[in-house]
Each structure stands twice: as C-alpha cells, then as structure tokens.
C-alpha cells in the first residue's frame, strides 16, 4: 500500500510517499481502507520533534512511528475473527489514539475497541475525517473546567481545529460563549454558535472589563498572567500548549483563587460515539479549510505550519478523492 513515511525528525520535506506492506488485522482488529485523513498540529509537532520532550514518547534519535496521521474516515476492508461490532463494507470514522498514528496511508489496522465508530449518516468521508481530533482535545479541556449551563466562557483562538470544536461543544453544554479570532474568521465562529465575537486584531479582551468563569486558550498563544484579570474569582484558565503551563497548573492548585489546568488527552470510543450522536442531531459540523491529495502531504503540512488554518486540513486518499 502507499503511505507517507518519515525516518528522521525535521521539516515537512522529510515526509515522502512509499510503498509499504499492507497491515493484516489481528483477531480483535479491523482493517480500514482510508478515504480521508488530516494533517494536524500534533503531526507537525511529532515530525519536527517540537518541543524536544516529545522524543521521550516518539523515539529519542529517530521516530519509532514512521507513518503520521491520527484521524481517518474510510471503509472496513477486513475484520479479525473476534470482531463483532464492525463488518466488511461498514463506513467508519475515528481517531488512532494518542501516539499510535498511522493514518497517512491507504490502510490501517485498529482494534475494535479503538476510538472508531460508524460514520455519521449524511456526512462525507472528508468531513468525518476532520472532526475527531479537535473534538477530543476540546472536550478534555471543557470537561476539566466542568463547563456548565449559564457559565461565561471565552475561547481564544476560536477559529482553529480545537477552537472551532470548543465553540460548538461549549454551546452544546449551555455556556455563554465569547469567541476571539482574527477578522477573516468572525463570521465563521458566529455561525458555529458563539454568542459574541472579538477580533483580536482590533481589541484586546483583557482590557474590556468583562469577567469569565473559564478562559480556554485553544491555540495556546495567550498566558495565564495576562488573562488572570479577566477571570472571576474561582475562574479557570486552560491552555492547549506551553509546557510551562504544567508548572503553573501545579502552582495554582496550591496558591491563589484562579486556577490553571493542563489536562492530558485521552482518546476513547465513548467520545467518538458521543460526537457521532451530536453530528447526527445536527449539533456539530466539520470545519474544513483546505483539501489536498495524499501525494501533496508536504504542501498540506507547510500550510498547517503557518498556524493560520481555519479548522482542519484534509488529505484525500485513493477512492476518497
């Protein structure tokens, strides 16, 4: 099968298409023919080994996992003897779990128990490939902050993959959402349900006198110290990036009445099933910026690394095109 591989850490160009052996499903696994996948910021971080600490999980000298890609949608090609929930021909979507990857390829084997589910009715493969990562990461942050009905929350970086998921999920949980993004994405985040929007190129929300229960820094580009004055007493700041926030989380757990939380992602089938329900109920939609064929993975990656994508960048694979 064709797959995008990389054998050393480095710039987007270390990735290349190669013919590799097609995986064979074990007893409890399904073999999925992938029609669409995505390039995420996590793929980029792992490929470039940024920050350096990721090497402790992905291989000190060179990447242990040659094939990146953590989200997919496709069709079940074969099942192991013990598989009961999926059958050949089923349309599926999901996520490969933390640090497993392998979706930038024509086929992937996944355990039946993996974060994999039947594709939501009426959704294309491209859309279904582009929903899991942002949702799982946004969910973990919203749950950590215990977002509830009536809370005032501010989402900084509301137009990225995690941000667009965060806006939709926070609205689903009943929060009052202020979304912060750049000028070109104001209409988009409004259409996702944000109650109010702030253009960060024109207004610094930290100076507008408003107070929030929860500030979700979905692009990890703000800071607790700058946001602190915009949090109500007891308020919570959750960033998605910045290793220093781990120490701030420990510090604020002991001192002060405004907390930093820095949750660790967990990818579960339960969350993918929850997402499928939301999509089928019309309460969640995919946000796709650009689509590239798998062959153009280097171009797609360069675009993702501009940090200016809106929502998600999809790679179409084989028949998915």
Ligand X SMILES: NC(=O)c1ccc[n+]([C@@H]2O[C@H](COP(=O)([O-])OP(=O)(O)OC[C@H]3O[C@@H](n4cnc5c(N)ncnc54)[C@H](OP(=O)(O)O)[C@@H]3O)[C@@H](O)[C@H]2O)c1
Q: Which of 59, 80, 182, 318 binds ligand X (CB under 6 A)?
A: 182
* Contact flags string 266-285 toward ligand X, x per CB under 6 A: --------------------
- Which helix (H) or strand (E) segment is 32 a member of? strand 29-39
Listed ranges 25-33, 39-47, 73-81, 225-233: which one lies at the site for ligand X (CB under 6 A) = 39-47
Q: Is 301 in the site for ligand X (CB under 6 A)?
A: no
Q: Which of 15, 37, 42, 245 binds ligand X (CB under 6 A)?
A: 42
The shares of helix, strand and coil residues in the chain, as percent rounded to the nearest 5, are 30, 25, 40
Closest CA to 316 of 129, 162, 132: 129
Q: Which two three-digit tokens encode residue 136?
A: 């799982």
Q: How far is the CB of 240 from ligand X (least distance, A)?
A: 3
Q: Is 241 in the site for ligand X (CB under 6 A)?
A: yes
Phi/psi-derived region of residue 123, left when phi > 0, alpha when psi is between -120 and 50, beta in every other case = beta
Q: Is 162 in the site for ligand X (CB under 6 A)?
A: yes
Query: Is the CB of residue 92 less than 8 Å from the CB of residue 75?
Result: yes
Helix (H, G, I), strand (E, B) or coil at 144: helix
Q: How far is the CB of 267 from ligand X (least distance, A)?
A: 10
Q: Which of 160, 169, 287, 300 binds ligand X (CB under 6 A)?
A: 160
Q: Is 47 in the site for ligand X (CB under 6 A)?
A: no
Q: Is 219 in the site for ligand X (CB under 6 A)?
A: yes
Q: How far is the CB of 319 from ligand X (least distance, A)?
A: 27
Report CA-CA distances (Å) from 291 to 157, 167, 294, 297: 21, 23, 9, 10
Bridge partners, residue 238, by sequence: 216
Q: Of the two residues 178 and 185, which places its CB atom closer to ligand X in the complex?
A: 185
- Enumerate residues 6+ apart whose C-beta is below 8 A from 265: 98, 136, 137, 140
Class of residue 209 by CB neighbours under 10 A (exposed 0-12, middle 13-18, buried 19+)? exposed
Q: Is 196 in the site for ligand X (CB under 6 A)?
A: no
Q: How far is the CB of 28 from ligand X (least distance, A)?
A: 27
The contact set with ligand X (CB under 6 A) reads 40-42, 45, 137, 157, 159-163, 181-182, 184-185, 200, 218-221, 240-241, 265, 307-310
């Amino acid at each position: 099968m064709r797959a995008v591989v990389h054998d050393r850490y480095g710039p987007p160009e270390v990735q290349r298409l190669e013919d590799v052996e097609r995986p064979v499903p074990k007893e409890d696994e399904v073999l999925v023919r992938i029609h669409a996948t995505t390039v995420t910021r996590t793929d980029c971080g792992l490929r470039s080994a940024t920050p350096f600490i990721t090497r402790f999980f992905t291989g000190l000298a060179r990447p242990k996992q040659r094939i990146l890609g953590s989200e997919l949608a496709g069709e079940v090609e074969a099942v192991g003897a013990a598989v009961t929930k999926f059958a050949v021909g089923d349309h599926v979507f999901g996520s490969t779990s933390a640090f497993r990857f392998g979706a930038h390829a024509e086929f992937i084997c996944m355990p039946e128990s993996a974060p994999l589910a039947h594709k939501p009715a009426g959704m294309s493969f491209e859309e279904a490939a582009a929903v899991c990562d942002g949702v799982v990461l946004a969910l973990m942050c919203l749950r950590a902050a215990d977002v509830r009905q009536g809370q005032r929350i501010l989402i900084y970086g509301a137009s990225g993959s995690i941000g667009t998921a965060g806006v939709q999920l926070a609205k689903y949980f009943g929060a009052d959402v202020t979304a912060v993004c750049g000028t070109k994405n104001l209409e988009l985040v409004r259409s996702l349900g944000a109650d109010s929007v702030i253009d960060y190129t024109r207004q610094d929300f930290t100076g507008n006198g408003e107070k929030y229960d929860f500030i979700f820094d979905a692009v990890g580009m703000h800071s607790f110290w700058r946001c602190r004055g915009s949090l109500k007493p007891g308020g919570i700041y959750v960033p998605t990036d910045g290793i220093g926030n781990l120490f701030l989380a420990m510090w604020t757990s002991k001192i002060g009445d405004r907390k930093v939380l820095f949750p660790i992602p967990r990818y579960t089938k339960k969350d993918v099933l929850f997402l499928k329900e939301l999509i089928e109920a019309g309460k969640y939609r995919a946000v796709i910026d650009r689509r590239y064929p798998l062959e153009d993975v280097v171009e797609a990656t360069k675009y993702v690394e501009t940090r200016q994508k809106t929502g998600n960048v999809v790679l179409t694979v084989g028949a998915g095109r």
